[in-house]
Amino acid sequence: MKPIRLFLSIPLMGLLFSSLACQALRGSSTPEPGDVLFQDNFADPDSGWNRIATMQGETDYADGVYRIFVNEPNLDIWSMPGKDFQDVRVEVDALKVGGERDNRFGIICRATRPDSFYTFIISSDGYYGIGKIKGQDYTLIENDSLQPSEAILKGAALNHLRADCIGDTLTFYVNGEKLAQVRDAEFPRGDVGLIAGTYQNAGTDIRFDNFIVFAP
């Protein structure tokens, strides 16, 4: 087991978040299971994600993918496109291109505010967890530490992540394998997004591609 060690002291809150307008999706019809509600291959740099660079990190489009670079120890940086969903299945491809294996990165769902949401994270040394950020607090749900899994490809490898947020049930898949399922009802709906962070060493550099939100 790996201690979570997720301590949020984020001085750039308000800079590195998309505005959470929580706009209703256009159209009043109920989506069919499997319908694509939102997708982005990051080819268009004006598709709505943050493009911000500071001394502490960067979020931006880069060569047809989306980059989150964290240049300060014990820091998380995330980005959201400004959507509002209830029950969803979120998938993305994630590749580590820089920094230590002792990192964290993954998917966000149900962001009710810019600093309140669920996270589905892995590390490049083979650990995973489902957590919750609420203000300055970052906790794992139903676990005291990140758990190891052979399903996670270590090092500079491409991993396919999937997060199901359906009712009060949160389920995490990595590379097609179900790793965890927990229950939490605090956040019923909200934005989706991407997150990356560091522990003791700065330099986490993650590239994301093929971000898709499905109706469950």
Under 8 Å between Cβ of 159 and 153 = yes
Q: What superfamily in CATH does domain 2-18+35-214 come from?
A: Exo-inulinase; domain 1 (2.60.120.560)
pLDDT confidence of residue 136: 84
65-102, pLDDT tens digit by residue?
Answer: 999 999 999 999 999 999 999 999 999 999 999 999 99
The DSSP output letter for 18 is -
pLDDT confidence of residue 9: 40
Residue type at 16 in one-letter notation: L
Cβ neighbors of 119 (< 8 A, separation 6 or more) are 106, 107, 108, 130, 131, 132, 133, 138, 195
CA distance 189 to 195: 18
39-57, pLDDT tens digit by residue?
Answer: 999 999 999 999 999 999 9
CA distance 103 to 154: 11
Pseudo-torsion of CA 55, 60, 64, 68, nearest 10°? Answer: 60
Averaged confidence pLDDT in the chain = 88
Domain map of the chain by residue range?
A: 2-18+35-214
